[in-house]
Homo-oligomer: A and B are copies of this chain.
Amino acid sequence: MHNLLSSLRVDINSSLYLKDPESSSLGINIVKSSIDLIDLHGIEEFNFKKLAKAIGSTESSIYRYFENKHRLLLYISSLYWGIMEFQTVVQTNNMPDGMERLMKAVETLFSTPQTKCTSFEVEGQKLRHILNSEFVKAYHHKLVDEENEAGYFSIYKRLALRLSEMIAGVNANYRYNNSLASLIIEGSLNQYFLSEHFHNLTDCHSKDNLYEFYKDLLTKTLTS
């Protein structure tokens, strides 16, 4: 299994970057350090000048890898969803029972991403924290339709469709499998944010609680 993990690679849409960051140590530094900085200060406070300073390089060098910070955020987001998809596939592989599969997928979605299967040895917690806070900004903007067309969200959508299919596998008569899948994936980001910043708008303050909440919701919705 370890070999499989290290040989597989998250395949990120190549139009998200100008030069593949995995192709050089500077590129890897750009991604790793940007994850540190965005995790720490948020995307608004983050810019290429600060990033350049942090890695001891220059703005112009960073611009050779990414057109702008928005694209970099999309790259980081794809990295996250790619890892999540990979883990979901690995974890649910060869599970014959539909409900068990679905629950395993949900549990995986609420877990910390394993960054081992990438070139970037970053803390999965940081990656998830970034996605919790910043992913909504990656698609809530004027050019979302163009970017969606260009495939910048394809990994995210593929994961949602996988989940949707798993839901259909549990109950083929359920009419809202796509909406339910989106609801869960959104929740996997948002409920953590609520716990951190709007404490009494959620009852889930641990991964276990969250899993229980969605398990209950899904079991009742799909089997009653």
Contacts and interface: CB of A to CB of B under 8 A. Distances in A.
A201 B141 contact: no
A218 to B, nearest CB: 9
Contact of A142 (B41, B140, B183): B41
Interface residues of A, number: 47
Contact of A136 (B136, B153, B178): B136
Nearest to A153: B198
B198 A157 contact: yes
Interface in A11-44: 41-42, 44
A202 B182 contact: yes
- Tell me how many chains of this kind the complex includes: 2
A197 B145 contact: yes
Q: DSSP class of A's interface residues: helix, strand, loop or mixed?
A: helix
B220 A44 contact: no
Contact of A160 (B137, B187, B191, B201): B201
B140 A193 contact: yes
A204 B183 CA distance: 12
A42 B213 contact: no
Given A186-B190, A190-B186, A201-B157, A142 B42 contact: yes
A176 B41 contact: no
A221 interface: yes
A75 B181 CA distance: 32
Contacts of A200: 157, 161, 178
